[in-house]
Structure 1
């Protein structure tokens, strides 16, 4: 089998393919050992460990392939132009992959997000399960795994509740009826907050009086939590407890109301000339039809009387 200035036998090609397969196996084994024996001792998170192991795997395959080609006697310098053309074509076709790869490296080394963080990216909310060089896996609140390209984390606004300090604040709007003692409302809301085990006592829960609404006096209950993934459950528990306390203390929660005032009298109505003419014609036709019906009924009654006299 000729290749450039050299020729290779079928046996030689098979040997080369066998060595290449052995190289792939060796690279995968090295990746597994690196991840299980060394990287877990560094304290890096799972995503970083996986990325470092994957890069080592690709590097070993790349350099091992070059060594095998040189051992086979292939002049790599003669393939420079061909490799350049192929490289340009591959580069144009793999721009997206290269973009995700670079984004993955930025995420790994800058670490704006880490495995275990609770994040919200463009409405997608969940826990980061894995960070690789191409994509990031997020497990949503519905236990669904979503694969997100790494570039989205650099190009979009990302809310990371777990970054550096997982403590975050929740705001619970509450409305009560007019005429209720405001201090009693404040005490009830503070009591509900302090009774919940997931609400932090420092910083202390706060109650803010927002103002006078259309149908209610509006308050905000501000509480601090250290477990952002449980924020929706904590809110639900607090609302349940708030309703119980307000009901026990006879503090009314209002519902929207609307007062209608009906004014007597005539309302001037302006009509267009065309509509006025049409209504006038309709009124004339209706009057003529009623007169015709009245005359017809009178004629029938007159005939009935004549017939009755003749029969008698």
Structure 2
């Protein structure tokens, strides 16, 4: 297996490279097809655009440019000294390179206000400089210098990537510490951490892309491919290919729109946190009411901000009705669960059967409600574990809300004392055990109920009211410690299960067979007589 895995990895990687090369080559082969129909075509040398030629009557712009580009590449590859000049043929200036007719300049090639002869001279100078520069960049000295620059750029990119990763790690650690120390209303949310990681990945990708383009532009052999790839990427991103209503939008425009929506979500969440922690906290409302108002304000701002963004973007809202129809069909066919949780979340937010800060029992889970969203509710258990509960469970099943419509909760402590104990005295001792305990409220007062006669004890029940239901297990434990100490101090017996066993004596009727009776008689005669003689 250790020998097969590297081979499999190399084979898979090679197949990916071949497939990527095929797709890239096919995409680059489509570049001339995209260029067809354009009134101009570029004259390039080693990937650098010199100028553009126009379309003539009977001659397309692209064939003219292709012919000129082939001659320029042939001259550069030959390495011969360059001689570029302008000659006049049939009253038209013609640019010649080493005796070869490169390009005929016409009135359509010259901009308004410039003669065709002036345009030809300008292009001649550009061609002369470009050919000499291309020949210079093919010399060994320049290639060595370009290699050193490329290696330096790669090393610099590695160092910058490491520095950016270190900075992002420190920021994340600071966010985590701030989230642990600062109240959750002002602490950075997880979305901010995801945004930071996404920004780091985007910056790293842009950095390596810039390094790849820069290093490829250093060499004339790779500059052509980098230019084609750049043109392909620009065409793919900048061309309007996504129709929405009467307009079409490019990929870059859609990415910008998505980025604006993401920024809108961050702004609305920040406003929600500030409203909840700085504004609503001063009103004296309870935590559940503050959370409800903050959630309603958050979704209202998202709705208004989305409409404003779409209007500023120039998108007619009536043109996206088809998407609303598709969304409705999707909800009807495959998103029933999400729709159910969404509606349940709205019911919980507005009806408020549970609120943030309530202490609840949901199935086997018991804890404090920390967050309510339109899809789920977060409960923090007594073990400080976060449980994400779908909202529909709060409406479809029984939920115990210890904090609903009341600030205090009653707990029960079953107690058994031995038969013969003075119940009046025991009742006073149990009530005394709850006095001066800080978490037991005085109103309503504690009470003791006689539940009945048990198998081994007189069963009582101590009822006390507490103001912190999440601490009920600690309170029960402390009260039981107090009760046990008081009952032992007053010699009140706490019974344990007992069972009495009675054994009755008597004769047992046993029937023996004749053979067994005869054997016993012989044994008695034999050994009985011997015993009598010894006596």
Match of 1:93 in 2: 334
Given that 1:215 and 1:256 are in contact with CA atoms closer than 8 Å, whether structure 2 keeps it comes out as: yes
Q: How does the TM-score come out when normalised to structure 2?
A: 0.45
Offset, 1:21:
3.2
User: Is residue 190 of structure 1 aligned with residue 431 of structure 2?
Assistant: yes
Look up the match of 2:349.
108
3-state SS, counterpart of residue 164 of structure 1: coil
Q: Which has the higher contact order (CA 8 A, sep 6+)?
A: 1
Matched, 1:145 2:386: yes
Larger mean CA deviation between 202-211 and 226-235 belongs to 202-211
For 1:296-307, list aligned pairs within 5 A: none
Contact 2:452 2:458 in 1 (8 A): yes
Match of 1:28 among 262, 265, 268: 265
Query: Distance between the aligned counterparts of 1:75 and 1:218, measured in 2?
Result: 73
Does the Cα contact within 8 Å between 2:292 and 2:350 map onto a contact in 1? no
Written as runs of structure 1 = structure 2, the 5 A alignment for 1:163-174 is 163-174=404-415
C-alpha distance in structure 2 between counterparts of 1:266 and 1:57, whole Å: 95
- What are the Cα deviations for residues 5-43 of structure 1, in whole angstroms up to 9, with x where unaligned? 9896xxx61442243134224422431343145465356
Alignment partner, residue 162 of structure 1: 403
> Aligned residue for 1:242?
483
CA distance in 2, matches of 1:6, 1:203: 70
- What residue is the counterpart of 1:76 in the other structure? 319
Instruction: State the shift of 1:52 in Å.
Output: 3.9
Aligned residue number for residue 302 of structure 2:
57
CA distance in 2, matches of 1:30, 1:133: 19
Q: Give the Cα separation in 2 of the matches to 1:24 and 1:157.
A: 39
Q: Offset at 1:58?
A: 5.6
Structure 1 counterpart of 2:236 = none
CA pair 13-222 structure 1, distance change in 2 beyond 3 A: same
Q: CA deviation at 1:70?
A: 3.1
Q: TM-score, normalised by structure 1?
A: 0.73
Distance 1:149 1:267, change over 3 A: farther
Say if 2:442 is the partner of 1:201: yes
Measured in 2, the distance between the counterparts of 1:119 and 1:171 equals 17
Residue of structure 1 in register with 2:470 after alignment: 229
Distance 2:246 2:271 in 1: 39
Structure 1 CA distance, aligned partners of 2:414 and 2:334?
Answer: 52
- Please give the alpha-carbon distance, in whole angstroms, between the structure 2 residues aligned to 1:140 and 1:36: 23
CA contact (8 A) 1:48 1:131 kept: no
SS, match of residue 413 in structure 2: strand
Corresponding position: 1:45 with 2:300: no
SS at match of 1:70: coil
> Which residue of structure 1 aligns with residue 364 of structure 2?
123
TM superposition shift of 1:2: 6.3
Are 1:177 and 2:177 an aligned pair? no
CA distance, structure 2, for counterparts of residue 133 and residue 86 of structure 1: 17
Is the aligned partner of 1:252 residue 2:252?
A: no
Deviation at 1:263?
3.2
C-alpha RMSD over aligned residues? 3.4
- Flag the 1:86–1:32 CA change in 2: closer, same or farther, 3 A: closer
